[in-house]
Amino acid sequence: MIRSPLSSLLFRALTLAAASTTVGTAGDFEEPIVPVTMESENDWGFEFRPYFWTASIEGDARLGNLPTADVDIGFDDILDWLDMTWASTFNVEHRPSGISFFIDTFYLRMTPDVDTTAGPIDIRSVTIKQAIINPTLAYRVWEQPERLNYLDLTAGVAWTYMSLDFRAKNTVTGADIGPDDRVDWIDLHVGPPARYSLTEKLYTGFLFDISPFQTGADFGLQLASGLGYRVTPWWSVEFMYRYLHIDYEEKDFLYDTDTHGLFLGSVFSW
């Protein structure tokens, strides 16, 4: 595989921005609520879930006419480069029908620590931004209300936006180098999230999510599994291990990576 100092630097930065890009999102792990009758004043349920993913990334990436670069980024790099991030899911559930709707939102801004020179290039700054909006519908196909166990089917849309602002100068010619590249795509995804209670407070969750429709990425796959704990009736914490594969390519952009790591979530229900 052809590599250059500049292309490796660019994509070591660029691929961090997709660490939380998902085919489906953390909202797919919905904390179930015991169904009630239509006469009840609690026909509707709500959840707010802020979350964090301690991910690392491996794969290949390419931008514009630059050669393809290897990607091997640890979570410590993400922490060092991070300026600002926000990730959360808001869920609305109509309990009698078993239908719910959630929207996952994500924003990331990073300024990587870079060497000031890479061959004849004097690098001034690299800024990465990413935004993700992921609305999804879910339908409950099986449940055990007395144990809060369930199996859902979900279908959703994930819109992903990435930008790279690169500022540098060619020390030989004196020319400024300042591309500001942007790319966005839409993926359709389906999957069956599930939950099973181990004790009154401890539960396990599972997610298999796939996007084979080639509306944006050529292919996407997500697997997640782990434990949750109900601290109070209105507050739970979740610890999941999450794996995500994304294969997206167009003429001037390649992003073929595996992202994996511990997922940490806090669930507020009312």
Whether the pLDDT of residue 21 is over 50: the answer is no
Question: CA 253: distance to chain centroid?
Answer: 19
Sign of torsion over alpha carbons 30, 34, 38, 42: negative
9/257 Cα distance (integer angstroms): 16
Whether the pLDDT of residue 27 is over 90: the answer is no
State residue 168's pLDDT score.
Answer: 66
3-state helix, strand, coil in the chain (%, to 5): 10, 65, 25
Give the alpha-carbon dihedral of 166, 168, 174, 179, to 10 degrees: 0
Average pLDDT over residues 169-182: 63
119/178 Cα distance (integer angstroms): 17
Residue pair 31/267 in contact by the 8 Å Cβ criterion = yes
State residue 225's pLDDT score.
Answer: 93
Cα–Cα distances (Å) from 270 to 30, 45, 90, in that order, read 13, 6, 12
Residue pair 71/11 in contact by the 8 Å Cβ criterion = yes
Whether the pLDDT of residue 26 is over 50: the answer is no
pLDDT in tens, 219-265: 989 899 999 999 998 999 999 998 989 898 887 788 888 888 888 99
Q: For strand 176-177 and strand 194-197, is the pairing parallel, antiparallel, or unpaired?
A: unpaired
Of 220, 222, 216, the residue nearest 240 (C-alpha): 222
Whether the pLDDT of residue 121 is over 70: the answer is no
Most confident of 73-82, 137-146, 162-171, 247-256: 137-146
Joined together, the tokens standing for residue 190 give: 């389906």
Residue pair 110/16 in contact by the 8 Å Cβ criterion = yes
Residue % of the chain over a pLDDT of 90: 28
Whether the pLDDT of residue 174 is over 90: the answer is no
Read off the pLDDT band of 176 (50, 70, 90).
low
Which of residues 80 and 104 earns the better pLDDT score? 104
156 forms beta bridges with 136, 189
